[in-house]
């Protein structure tokens, strides 16, 4: 069981690297025709880019099916992919893009940094020129900027900012 949980956690962490590579080289590469729906304004709930969610869901399901009788490492890989998918949905679709109105403003520096990096990624509406392709890992510069914003807002609340 402990080994299974380790495999699940390792898969979750590995998925961030997989997501980065897929996003940079596949989504902004030969599958841009599907991903570009995510980079343009639209008024509908779903976009062609959502097909990637179905792909990873199917992949996780197959790992569950083939690793469940008896439960082996494939089951735990499926669980790790599923956990990453849930994190992706909550962070990317719900928190960052507000596809479901659930989260309000945050004073959490990490979440602010994620949001900032993703906004920089979406500055470019085309296939080329984007940066920040990850979902859970952000470059330190975004984290430093977010920390500064949070600290300044805290100081404003206390009235301790001196110009």
Q: How many domains does the chain have?
A: 1
83-86 contacts at long range (C-beta below 8 A, 24 or more positions apart): 83/8, 83/12, 84/11, 84/12, 84/15, 84/16, 84/19, 84/56, 85/53, 85/56, 85/57, 85/60
Tell me whether residue 32 is in a domain: yes
Tell me whether residue 163 is in a domain: no
Mean pLDDT of 137-156: 84
Which tokens sit at 153? 């807002």
pLDDT for position 126: 67
Average pLDDT, the chain: 83
> pTM of the full predicted structure?
0.79
Tell me whether residue 47 is in a domain: yes
Q: Which domain holds residue 116?
A: 2-158
Tell me whether residue 90 is in a domain: yes
Tell me whether residue 72 is in a domain: yes
Tell me whether residue 114 is in a domain: yes
């Amino acid at each position: 069981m402990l080994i299974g949980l380790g495999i699940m956690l390792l898969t979750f962490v590995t998925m961030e690297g997989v997501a980065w590579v897929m996003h940079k080289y596949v989504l902004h590469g030969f599958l841009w025709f599907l991903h570009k729906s995510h980079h343009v304004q639209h008024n509908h709930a779903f976009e062609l880019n959502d097909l990637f969610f179905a792909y990873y869901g199917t992949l996780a399901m197959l790992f569950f099916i083939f690793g469940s009788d008896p439960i082996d490492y494939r089951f735990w890989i499926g669980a790790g992919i599923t956990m990453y998918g849930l994190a992706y949905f909550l962070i990317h679709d719900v928190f960052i893009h507000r596809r479901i109105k659930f989260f309000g403003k945050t004073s959490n520096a990490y979440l602010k940094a994620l949001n900032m990096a993703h906004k920089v990624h979406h500055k470019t509406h085309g296939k080329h020129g984007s940066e920040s392709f990850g979902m859970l890992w952000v470059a330190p510069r975004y984290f430093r900027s977010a920390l500064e914003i949070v600290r300044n807002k805290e100081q404003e609340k206390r009235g301790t900012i001196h110009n």
